[in-house]
Structure 1
Amino acid sequence: MPSQRPNDNLIGQSTAFHEVLEHVSKVAPLNKPVLIIGERGTGKELIAERLHFLSSRWEQNYVKLNCAALNENLLESELFGHESGAFTGASKRHEGRFERADKGTLFLDELANTSGLVQEKLLRVIEYGEFERVGGTRTVRSDVRLICATNEDLPQLAAQGKFRADLLDRLAFDVITLPPLRVRKEDILILADHFAMQMTRQLGLELFAGFSNNALKTLQGYPWPGNVRELKNAIERSVYRHNNAHVPLHEIVLDPFESPWRPTQLIRTNAPTVEQASAAEPEVMPAATQGASEFPIDFKQVCQDNEKSLLQQALVHSQYNQKKAAENLALTYHQLRGILKKYDMLGQEN
């Protein structure tokens, strides 16, 4: 079966991004294994596809497998196949991914999750181009270009004895390390516009009116821990909820779980009993709450005023950088944004 058309979401103009593409172009024509390292959502699978389609094997099969999705026994069977009767339920011979990828490319994602047994068999395939099916004794030969990916530090795992050092040596003919989106600042808006246009067409809207200044500020100020995948989800979610072809998109919905009614669970460990609390030494009250209060007071209003004052102080202290303000308040970025929105303080920090 011939390979499918490659994905076209490799978009960007940053120096770091173009250095990766140049690296890919140089190593793609070689029939050598390549290791792709990168955080989640950085596009490891897209880079693997590009390596295949820029190689001389581009008309042959491109086969993929996520090693974290299967347990050791199933993974071994999926990779190398099994003979009829090899185990309960094995009613007929099964060709594994190495056989299906013969003359083509095999992409193994989440490589760090493989067991020692699987790693040993992978080592033999890379070294000699041969293996046995599970439950079989006949040697099977396969001509496969192997591309592997992980978000783990494999050299460190090898040093700890958690990954075979000899396998790592053979896999790492060359290593492509993908930059996270937070260091590709120039690419964020380019990618956001691309994903917004895609979602606009999917929704059947006549056009995409662009991003408001508030939305642009959010896109550029957020650290994107989930990288390009998180950006794509956030943009598609925001465009779908906005659903207006004529008004610029104002709000980027970063956290779909954010809600004033979100259930929370407070976990307290080693909390004192009522008796222990009564017998404990009285704590010194913080300076902000010391002093006499004149009752009656509006407790809710006083708390809100104190909270708003503290938020304003944190923003000033961090020079209105919301990420730093959140860190100084021991909040997540989403939590801070939610509280600022609650007090109608979003946009007033400019």
Structure 2
Amino acid sequence: MAIITKTHSLFSEALGRSDAFLSFQEQLGAVAKVDRPVVIIGERGSGKELAAVRLHYHSTRWQAPLVTVNCAALSESLLESELFGHEPGAFTGAIRLRTGRFESAHQGTLFLDEIGTMPLTMQEKILRVVEYQVVERLGGSRPMEVDVRIVAATNANLKSMAESGRFKDDLLDRLAFEVLHVPPLREREGDVLLLAEHFAARMAVELGLSTAPRFSKKVLEILEGYPWPGNVRELKSVVERAVFRAKGSEVIRDVVVDPFARTGRKVVEASMEPSAVSRQENGSTERGAGLLESMNLPDALADLERRYLEHALRQARFNQRKAAKILGLRYHQFRGLYRKHSQVQAELNNTDM
């Protein structure tokens, strides 16, 4: 079941040295000392739960429990029972008394992960707890006081949800004493290689290797140039897979970003010959040229942009900063164009099959 009560180690620290990372950690440290609810916003895999852990252990509540609930993993009825507990006979199957997560987190922190998925009726009940610091078990009639700091996390736009009626304005106002935005990995310049080396060293120990393998220059370029939509979690999987597949080699010469792709297919082979890249580019150009005849002007321009992106990325070996220079764009302009044509990576993968 995806409801976890954890005693986290004080050594569960995030790693990074980029300005974006250090600035975020500074914000965390400052907010931790203020005993108020906090909302953490971040993309999948960016470290929202780790941020909640740091908030707890840098707060005055650090010696009390930190309780985690994944709101997306349970139906409304189960979520209510888990949060508030129930008395025997409260519903079919409720044989014994169950303590709710609010009670378990008394004097500590309750981390509500994926709060954007919580039904409106549950939001109303959470609002009551935030306002009055009391809970009632299902089937019970005695209000119980609880002293809990709520930290909520989501990758959804809660403000937009509130405007459309999918999230309660009052609850958002109560929870958002401070809103922290976890920086995505693509904005943490220099942290990718630091994290990659860290994950490689840990995987080497797990595999019983005497030393951690090094990354070849081409692999380093791939790691730095890839946009990492899955953030740190995705990077960890990719690096661990690369260390495993290196089979004890001192140097990692290729990485597999998509393990579901056909066996042997890589995002980029470090040993790929320039002629092979040229053949792939020519094939892509030939496939795209015939499409212009059947397109209207906006579609044709969009197709041309995609093909320019594809060509530049291949020429730069998927290093986005180099690709931006090839196209004569500033990096943030290139990133905007890349996001606009998010299917570029999928198209590139298909051409590599």
Identical-pair percentage: 46
1:280-295 pair list within 5 angstroms: none
Distance in 2 (alpha carbons) for counterparts of 1:215 and 1:9: 26
CA deviation map 1:280-317 (0-9, x unaligned)? xxxxxxxxxxxxxxxxxxxxxxxxx9755235896895
Distance in 1 (alpha carbons) for counterparts of 2:173 and 2:281: 56
Equivalent position to 1:188, from 180, 187, 192: 192
Task: State the AA in 1 paired with 2:171.
Answer: L
Distance in 1 (alpha carbons) for counterparts of 2:195 and 2:231: 11
Deviates more, 1:221-230 or 1:324-333: 324-333
Equivalent position to 2:69, from 65, 72, 76: 65
Distance 1:330 1:189, change over 3 A: closer
Match of 2:312 in 1: 318
The reply on whether 1:29 has 2:33 as its aligned counterpart is yes
Equivalent position to 1:333, from 318, 333, 345: 345
Equivalent position to 2:262, from 259, 264, 274: 259
CA deviation map 1:5-46 (0-9, x unaligned)? 145350111111111100011010121111000000110000
Match of 1:276 in 2: none
Distance in 2 (alpha carbons) for counterparts of 1:54 and 1:66: 22
1:209 Cα offset (Å)? 2.7
Match of 2:137 in 1: 133
Match of 1:177 in 2: 181
Cα contact 1:63–1:107 (8 A) shared by 2: yes
1:1-350 pair list within 5 angstroms: 3-6=7-10, 8-245=12-249, 247-259=250-262, 309-311=282-284, 317-318=311-312, 320-321=315-316, 322=318, 332-333=344-345, 336=348, 339-340=351-352
Unaligned segments of structure 2, at least 5 residues: 266-277, 286-306, 328-336
1:261 Cα offset (Å)? 9.8
Give the number of aligned pairs: 299
Task: State the AA in 2 paired with 1:77.
Answer: S
Distance 1:314 1:166, change over 3 A: closer
Unaligned segments of structure 1, at least 5 residues: 263-304, 343-350
Distance 1:145 1:334, change over 3 A: same
Distance 1:335 1:208, change over 3 A: farther
Higher helix share: 2
Distance in 2 (alpha carbons) for counterparts of 1:307 and 1:2: 50
RMSD value, Cα: 2.8
SS of alignment partner, residue 12 of structure 1 = coil
Distance in 2 (alpha carbons) for counterparts of 1:257 and 1:307: 21
1:185 Cα offset (Å)? 2.4
TM-score, normalised by the number of residues in structure 1? 0.79
Task: State the AA in 2 paired with 1:145.
Answer: R
Cα contact 1:132–1:138 (8 A) shared by 2: yes
Distance in 2 (alpha carbons) for counterparts of 1:233 and 1:219: 12
Cα contact 1:314–1:329 (8 A) shared by 2: no
Task: State the AA in 2 paired with 1:159.
Answer: E
Distance in 2 (alpha carbons) for counterparts of 1:177 and 1:161: 23
Distance 1:51 1:213, change over 3 A: same
Task: State the AA in 2 paired with 1:309.
Answer: N
Task: State the AA in 2 paired with 1:33.
Answer: P
Cα contact 1:40–1:151 (8 A) shared by 2: yes
